């Protein structure tokens, strides 16, 4: 124990069973339609907890990763706005009205 500080958190090996992993990846059974494309789950399969189908979710994820990697696009702008808002600031683009 280090004097003057808090005791370190107890770190135990984490064991995750296969059932638990499957449980966390279960789709949201209450949703019937994708909130992006509007397709019914009978056509596109299960809808995720975030409300996206198996086509829209990965597509948005990849577009988001590409925008952040290449520093362009709407997802980068959304990220920049969020970062600025987290410290109470605005983007210069938003102040000047240019997108
Ligand atoms: Zn969709």
- Tens of pLDDT, residue by residue over 15-27, are 555 444 444 556 7
Distance CA 81, CA 38 (A): 27
61 domain-assigned: yes
| Angstrom distance (rounded) from CA 36 to CA 39 | 8
Q: Give residue 73's pLDDT.
A: 95
Distance 66 CA to ligand 1 centre (A): 19
Instruction: Please indicate, yes or no, if residue 30 is contained in any of the structural domains.
Output: yes
**Residue 69: which domain range?**
55-93
The per-residue pLDDT for 8 is 64
| Helix then strand then coil, % of the chain, to nearest 5 | 45, 0, 55
How much is the pTM? Answer: 0.61
Q: Are residues 61 and 83 in the same domain?
A: yes
Tell me which residues of the chain have a pLDDT lower than 70: 1-26, 98-99
Q: Residue 23 has what pLDDT? A: 45
Q: How far is the CA of 56 from the centre of ligand 1 (A)?
A: 4
Same domain, 25 and 40: yes
How many Å lie between the centroid of ligand 1 and the Cα of residue 53?
4
Rounded Cα gap, residues 71 and 74, in angstroms: 10
pLDDT of res. 14: 59
User: Residue 38 to residues 7, 59, 78: CA-CA distances in angstroms?
Assistant: 51, 15, 23
């Amino acid at each position: 124990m280090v004097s003057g500080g808090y005791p370190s958190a107890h770190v135990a090996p984490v064991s995750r069973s296969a059932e638990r992993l499957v449980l966390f990846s279960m789709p949201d059974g209450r949703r019937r339609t994708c909130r992006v494309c509007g397709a019914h789950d009978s056509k596109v399969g299960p809808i995720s907890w975030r409300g996206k189908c198996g086509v829209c979710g990965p597509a948005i994820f990849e577009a988001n990763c590409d925008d952040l990697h290449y520093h362009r696009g709407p997802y980068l702008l959304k990220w920049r706005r969020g970062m600025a808002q987290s410290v109470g600031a605005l983007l210069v683009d938003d102040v000047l009205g240019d997108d």
